Each structure stands twice: as C-alpha cells, then as structure tokens.
Structure 1
C-alpha cells in the first residue's frame, strides 16, 4: 500500500543540509513544532520536514509500515486503524499536529509503555541525512536486520541532534480484541502496592494511572481474559477516552502554569517526599510532578532512588534534561562528532555541550 498523497522532498532536504554545511549555519529541525516546549531552545535556519510526507509502504500481513518524516502521526494512525492495527507504544499526537519524524526524535510513549515497549523498540530501519551531507539507510523492515551498532534506534530520543530522519520503518501490532477501563477508589500508597502485586500475575493490564484519589486501569486482550480480570478486580467502568486525555495532557491535572516535571523511576518506587502535586503513570514507573521546588532538590530526591527528572514545561533551569555524568557526556559528544562533525543539527537542544 502506498499513499497517493505522498511527496518525496528528500532532494530538497539534502540540498538544504549541504548548503548549511557549506555556510557553517546551524539548522533547527522541526515538523509541526508540537514539542518546542521540550528541551533547550535552538537558534538556526528552520528545516521544515512536513513537505516530505506520505506512507511509502504498508502491508498489514507483514506488520510493518514505512512512512516519511513529515507524515502526520494522526494520518499514520488512521491508516493502521483501518487495518485494525496500531503502534503499541501510543506516542502522543498533540491534537493531530505531531509528525512521524518528531515521534521518533522525541521518543515519547503513552500509557501502554511498560507493557508493550517504547518508540525505540518498534523502529526497524530509517533513512537519515547525516552531518556529512549523505543520505543513508540503516536497518531494514524485519527484526533480524536490527543487530550490531543500531543507528536506527539510536535516533529515538535524540531530538534531531544526530541527523535528519527522512523515513522510518516501524513494527506494528494488531489491536486487542477487547478493551475495558475501570476505576478503583484507593489512596496512592495502596495503589502502588496493588500494582506491584498485580505485575507478578497474569492480569491483562495495559495502562495504570493514579490521580491521588482513584486508580484507573485499562484491561486489554481476549474477551474471556478481560471479563475474568474485571470480575476479579471490580470497580467502576471508566470512559476509554481517559487514556487519550492522559496521553495528550488534557486532564485537569495538566491545566496549570506550575512547572511540570517528568520523573522516570524504577518500578515499585514508593511515594517520593516532594512538594507539589503528583500523578502516577506507567504503573508507578512514570510520575508527573507539578512543583515550584528547585530543580537541584527535585533531582537529588529522584536520583537517590535511581531515577531521573526532566523539566517538561515552564522550565526555570538551563538544563531541562537530566544532567549527564562526565563519562557519559563524553560518549555523547564523541557520537555527535562522528555523525554531525560540524554541529549543524539542533545544536544545544539536549545539552549545551552537544
């Protein structure tokens, strides 16, 4: 299957990159710019990926779809939905504006992440314009091609600092036969205890979030297994749109000018002694924190339990992403020098040193 409304603008993109290399001018890569709030600001000539769009190939029987970087994520999801398939990692599409390239570059995953995997786990291959002015292909369209030094998956969460993704092949999966969402009244500590117990049992949970008063669960799978889990857990039925609202940050929790922190924690981490409001997601592995506390204090508390903290919006810190140890930063700098030796792609978006 090919998208009749697609357009290959790779030649124009390559020309713009080579001109930037010739002029030593940095490039600010963006699609719909839906994630401009994440990371450090970037100065440079805008490189708009949206003209390079469309589904390149899709065979539902192979569970693989290939799309160009400027393709709206909503369009990709619509094509998959027609075949009763999905991207299991549930990347947010931010009101239909996000693009496929931005999805890979940011690596953001939704509520199903702990059970299905991240965006990176579903990348099979990419085409990439490097900082050497070359348009290269890495990986392929089958899992066995993803081995060794995996440049394709390296692009996930790189925020465009290593090169310009022009095309990506993704593994997709069939939609579950049955989906049911429920809500249980319990406090945060009890919710974390229950989630730790249920995680060791064959329950078809595919999303879990606690808002401070109630634990919300999504059950997915065969009709029998979902019905049996509901009989066991009980609770009130919940509108399935809750998970989309959570993923798109449309819940009332996110309606504030307070700095929003994204905390990634080891499983079974107890409640953290942090000021502000918390929303527990990913069965406890991801916490959203609204707090005016200093960045250093938040990160000190999170690091003690083996996690890391990112200032998601309204940042007052010069380093929104978790600062890297010196040794790890050197690895990142070496990688940047190899793939983008002139430093033209989104310089400083992740860290000032990159």
Structure 2
C-alpha cells in the first residue's frame, strides 16, 4: 500500500536545492513541518525550510506491521490510515495542533500516556532518510528490526530536534489496536496511588496509562476483553471517559490552561517518591506515566529545580521557555563529557551548523 498523490520528487529536489544554497552561503536553516511544536526548544534564527509538501505514505504492510512515510505527512493522516487497518502508533505521540507532521514527531521524540508500557518513539523507529549539510540524502536503518553492532543512527535522530540533518522519510513499526479499552478513576491520595502502582507494576495487568492528579488516580486498561473486564472488577473505582487521555496528551486539561507560570516536565525513575520542591505542594502536580513524568507550574529557581531532579536520577524540561529568564534554557545543561560527544556528532553530521542552530543548546 502506498500513496503517491503529491509531487514529492519536486518537493525533495526543492529541499535539496535550498540546503545546498544554505551550505554555499553558510547560512542557517530553520526546519518547519506543521509548526505545532515550535515552542519546544530555543528560538531558531535562519531561513525557514518547510517539509510540508514532501508528504505521503510510501509503503505500508499491515501484515508485517511496517509503515514508511515522508516527513511532511500530517500525523493525523498517518494515524487514520493505520486505524483503517486496526493498527496504531503505540507510542501515542502528541499533536499539539491540527498540522502536526510525522517529521516533527520524530524530531521532538515526544510520547504519550502509553509510553511506559509500550515504549518510546525511538523504540519504533526502523530507519530514516535525511539530507545532510550538502543536500545529499542518506539512509540509516531500513524496514526490519535488527540487532546490530554499533550505534543506530536512525534512532539518534529521535529528539535531536533537526539539529543533525533534515529528516525526509521515516520507517516505523506499528502495532494492532487493543481489543478492549476501559478507563477508571479512583479517589485516593497521591501516596496511596504511588504505592498501588508499584504493586500493580509487578503483576501482568493490562495497564496502558496511569496518572494521578486533582485527588484521584486515573487508569486506562487495554487488551483482551476478558482481561480488561476482570481487571476492572479487581481494581474497582468509577468509569472514566477514554477521551481523558487525549486531553492529557494534548495538554487540554484545565491544569495546563490556568497558570501563567512556567510549565515544567520532570522525567524521573520509576517509584520515585514525591519531590520536595520549595514552595510547591506535591499534590498540585500531575503525576503521569505512573509517576515517571510529572508536570508542574512553578516560578522557582531553574538551577534549584534541576538539582532536585538530578539528585532523584531525573531531569527537568521547560515547555514554556518564553517564560524563563534569558540565561535559563529549556533543557537540562549537559555534563562536559556528554557535551563533547554532542559536539563531535554535530561536527560530523552538520559541520557548518546549518540545521536548527541553537535549538537544543546555544552552542549546538
């Protein structure tokens, strides 16, 4: 199954020409797809290079659970094609707007509520095609999940924010949709919720999402109808509209809309206790991913917050960097040795610093 409706060769040739021109002029490019995640990261200067015309599904094999799609393809269009075959992107990526593209999905590497149980974006990437700083197209990986020696460069592009090259196409592993889905709400304390989640995590329960906020634990159960029904009876609680998870994923819950302070995402190891953050009540946070991803609005010292997260084995990312002081970046600063590896990668893949210069870090 493939979709060839768009003049994609012309679009690809245009992208190549624009990259080559930028290379000759040593001028930066700002990569843009649907522009729904422009807020995520540092501001980028330079001429806009858009992938939106380079779109369409090039190959889809529902039997082999593989799809290859051009970077400018709308995420909603891809998900609709998969749904028609009873399949899905298991990492449940957020859209943050109607124009989201698969290229931006891979570049940002953001996953939804199902992530702890299904895997992250990078776990489903089989291969990518991308343009280097000279406008040459390279292919990394393919359409088969392999165990190989060395680093998988295709997965390296996940979360790189386009700083290592312009993604033109991606091949992904997809999964069948579950046979049944039911959501529950339990009015229990945060401490009790984290304790229960730790216990349930040791059992083969069909959990696919777990979030505590506003005085209640919200659960989603997915799998075979009998397994879901049995687990619902065992856990109890009240039924919850499944649409809750889309509102959470897309940051449409009232929690995300009612605060003018910076919005922080804390990524933490499993079973991490509530953090003691000065001036912040732990119960005011959203504890998503069974507590591994926590959202809070806080106008606290950036260094203090990141130090608290680091001591717990995690890190903090700001989703509203425009509300931070100029000296504070949205992403946790890299350790010197890690920064050196990042610099070497950038020097090899984009030595002129053409692609999304400064998107992740000022010097990268």
Q: Same fold (TM over 0.5)?
A: yes
Q: Kindly report which structure 2 residues correspond to 1:243-282, keeping only aligned pairs within 5 A, or say none.
A: 243-255=245-257, 256-274=259-277, 275-276=279-280, 277-282=284-289
- Structure 1 gaps, min length 5: none
What are the superposed Cα offsets for residues 185-242 of structure 1, whole Å, 9 maximum, x if unpaired? 0111111111111101111100000113000000000011111101100110000000
How far the C-alpha of 1:33 sits from its partner, in A, is 1.1
How far the C-alpha of 1:109 sits from its partner, in A, is 0.1
1:171 maps to: 173
Q: What TM-score results when the alignment is normalised by the length of structure 2?
A: 0.95
2:241 maps to: 239
Contact 1:261/1:290, CA 8 A, preserved across alignment: yes
1:213 maps to: 215
1:291 maps to: 298
Number of residue pairs the alignment of both structures matches: 354
Contact 2:185/2:218, CA 8 A, preserved across alignment: yes
1:193 aligns with 2:200: no
Q: Distance in 2 between matches of 1:206 and 1:153?
A: 24
What are the superposed Cα offsets for residues 61-80 of structure 1, whole Å, 9 maximum, x if unpaired? 11001110000000000000
2:350 pairs with one of 321, 340, 345 = 340
Q: Distance in 1 between matches of 2:35 and 2:97?
A: 12
Q: What TM-score results when the alignment is normalised by the length of structure 1?
A: 0.98
Q: Kindly report which structure 2 residues correspond to 1:1-354, keeping only aligned pairs within 5 A, or say none.
A: 1-8=1-8, 9-144=11-146, 148-255=150-257, 256-274=259-277, 275-276=279-280, 277-313=284-320, 314-317=322-325, 318-354=328-364
What RMSD in Å do the two structures reach over aligned CA positions? Answer: 1.1
Contact 2:261/2:323, CA 8 A, preserved across alignment: no
Q: Distance in 1 between matches of 2:197 and 2:97?
A: 30
Contact 1:139/1:146, CA 8 A, preserved across alignment: no
- Structure 2 gaps, min length 5: none
Contact 2:4/2:58, CA 8 A, preserved across alignment: no
How far the C-alpha of 1:7 sits from its partner, in A, is 3.3
What are the superposed Cα offsets for residues 13-63 of structure 1, whole Å, 9 maximum, x if unpaired? 111100000011100001111111111101000001101011111111110
Paired residue secondary structure (2:343): helix
Q: Distance in 2 between matches of 1:215 and 1:304?
A: 26
Provide runs of 4+ in structure 1 moved above 6 Å: none
How far the C-alpha of 1:96 sits from its partner, in A, is 2.2
